[in-house]
């Protein structure tokens, strides 16, 4: 590893985020420019990186298509009034009590996600949640954090992909026994951390004091022909993802295309409603982070952290490692398969519980998903209504993810996760 290039790549990443925040320019555009320059410099200094393919090799195709497809579908729902009608009916279910709405979405998200849909169900739930927030004077940041919190707590259930991977890896490495009772300490530790964070967000960001926007007494509203077709399409997406394991991007795009063919919305308006600026933001930063990773930035940080690991600092460091790696890599495909076996090995060297270290990995890896650099956080930004300042929400979610890792690390350092193992 070229340490100078690794350090430089981390400096570039921080600089891009700072410049975007100060100038209010699209971080994705700045990030793509920075990725190109960084790749040129790294390649000239012996790093194995193909400059001409930094976009085609690192473009987050899956995230791009999911955000494109789901915002296409929910753009149609917003244009023809389906989202508005659904929002008013949800408020009516809460009997007009706006204080209950974030709690409803937390519980709903947790149940749907835990049933097997996993974190990507955020693409279906979040557009409705954020529209409800805007309509009822609720903090968009708070609704985002609380709803994602519920979805991610449910997403670690043994029926969802994150939970399946976490449980299987832990069993294979001898960390826990098979069955729900063996897995509960891992799920419980993460649920406690994310649950407390969501509750804190609810109270600190005004959950008890939503601004009055719609003084109209809540009442159930009906759906016209186009809205009914759109509502059926949304239900089809939910059922397809939860019960039949369909790709959420493909099924959303198919339903959106069918709605266009059936005349449920004006085609030009539907295509214009796709948030291209947000898509560039998410994908451009993803390319930059991939280049930083290839330059050794994340490995450099990880090695420095591992070098200072002791019995007392081991779990907090695993939280940070999980968070750092989870911000740039797939939690299920890369981070947990890498860090859980490492945690098992380190536990033997340090003479401590492997379960304690794996709890750190699980909390850090799955906590950072609220960042817009991750798939779930990125989809959240992409789903936000047009009236929401998406650049501001992007920065707020990024800071929230950092805050979650800092607080979780502190909780680990003072032994709060010791309750679970």
Q: Where are the domains of the chain?
A: 62-275
Tokens 């911000």 identify what position?
Answer: 327
pLDDT on residue 141 = 96
Residue pair 137/102 in contact (Cβ under 8 Å)? The answer is no
pLDDT on residue 116 = 66
pLDDT on residue 308 = 77
Handedness of CA 56, 59, 61, 62 (dihedral sign): positive
Residue pair 85/343 in contact (Cβ under 8 Å)? The answer is no
The span from the CA of 279 to the CA of 83, in Å, is 21
The SS3 call for residue 199 is: helix
Tokens 């193992």 identify what position?
Answer: 421
Percent of residues in the chain assigned helix, strand, coil, to nearest 5 = 80, 0, 20
pLDDT on residue 274 = 87
Mean pLDDT by groups of 10 residues along the chain of 421 residues = 91 86 83 95 93 88 84 87 80 78 91 78 87 89 96 88 85 87 92 95 88 59 92 90 82 95 93 84 83 86 74 90 79 77 81 90 92 85 87 91 94 89 68
Contacts 24+ apart (CB under 8 A), 170-179: 170/340, 170/358, 173/340, 173/341, 173/344, 173/354, 174/344, 174/354, 175/340, 175/343, 175/344, 175/354, 175/355, 175/358, 176/355, 176/358
Instruction: List, in order, residues 6 or more apart from 391 with CB less than 8 Å away.
Output: 20, 24, 26, 27, 281
pLDDT on residue 305 = 67
The span from the CA of 398 to the CA of 89, in Å, is 32
pLDDT on residue 212 = 53
Residue pair 390/384 in contact (Cβ under 8 Å)? The answer is yes
DSSP state of 212: P
Pick the closest to residue 340 from 194, 186, 188, 190 (CA basis).
186
The SS3 call for residue 26 is: coil
pLDDT on residue 215 = 47
Instruction: List, in order, residues 6 or more apart from 162 with CB less than 8 Å away.
Output: 118, 119, 155, 156, 331, 332, 366
pTM value > 0.85:
no
Tokens 């729900």 identify what position?
Answer: 180
pLDDT on residue 329 = 65
pLDDT on residue 125 = 87
Structure token pair of residue 122: 């955020």
pLDDT on residue 25 = 82
């Amino acid at each position: 590893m070229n340490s100078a290039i690794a350090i430089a790549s981390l400096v570039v990443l921080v600089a891009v985020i700072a410049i975007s925040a100060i100038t209010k320019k699209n971080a994705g555009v700045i990030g793509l420019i920075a990725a190109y320059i960084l790749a040129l410099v790294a390649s000239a200094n012996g790093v194995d990186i193909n400059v001409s393919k930094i976009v085609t090799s690192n473009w987050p195709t899956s995230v791009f298509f999911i955000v494109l497809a789901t915002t296409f579908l929910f753009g149609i729902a917003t244009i023809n009034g389906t989202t508005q009608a659904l929002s008013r009916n949800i408020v009516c279910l809460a009997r007009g009590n706006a204080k209950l709405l974030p709690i409803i979405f937390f519980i709903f998200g947790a149940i749907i996600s835990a049933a097997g849909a996993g974190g990507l169900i955020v693409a279906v739930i979040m557009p409705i949640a954020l529209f409800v927030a805007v309509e009822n004077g609720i903090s968009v940041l708070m609704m985002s954090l609380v709803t994602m919190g519920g979805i991610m707590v449910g997403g670690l259930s043994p029926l969802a992909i994150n939970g399946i991977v976490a449980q299987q890896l832990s069993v294979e490495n001898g960390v826990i026994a098979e069955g729900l009772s063996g897995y509960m300490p891992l799920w419980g530790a993460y649920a406690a951390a994310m649950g407390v964070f969501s509750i804190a967000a609810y109270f600190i960001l005004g959950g008890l004091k939503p601004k009055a926007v719609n003084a109209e007494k809540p009442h159930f509203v009906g759906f016209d022909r186009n809205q009914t077709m759109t509502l059926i399409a949304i239900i089809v997406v939910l059922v397809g993802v939860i019960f039949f394991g369909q790709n959420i991007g493909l099924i959303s795009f198919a339903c959106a295309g069918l709605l266009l063919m059936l005349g449920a919305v004006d085609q030009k308006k539907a295509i214009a409603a796709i948030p291209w600026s947000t898509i560039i933001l998410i994908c451009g930063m993803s390319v930059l982070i991939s280049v930083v990773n290839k330059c050794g930035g994340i490995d450099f940080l990880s090695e420095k952290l591992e070098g200072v690991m002791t019995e007392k600092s081991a779990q907090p460091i695993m939280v940070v490692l999980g968070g750092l790696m989870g911000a740039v890599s797939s939690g299920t495909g890369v981070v947990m398969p890498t860090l859980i076996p490492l945690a098992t090995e380190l536990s033997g060297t340090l003479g401590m519980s492997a379960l304690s270290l794996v709890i750190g990995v699980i909390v850090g890896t799955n906590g950072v998903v609220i960042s817009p650099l991750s798939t779930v956080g990125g989809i959240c930004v992409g789903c936000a209504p047009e009236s929401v300042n998406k650049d501001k929400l992007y920065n707020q979610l990024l800071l929230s993810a950092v805050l979650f890792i800092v607080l979780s690390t502190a909780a680990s350092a003072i032994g709060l996760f010791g309750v679970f193992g």
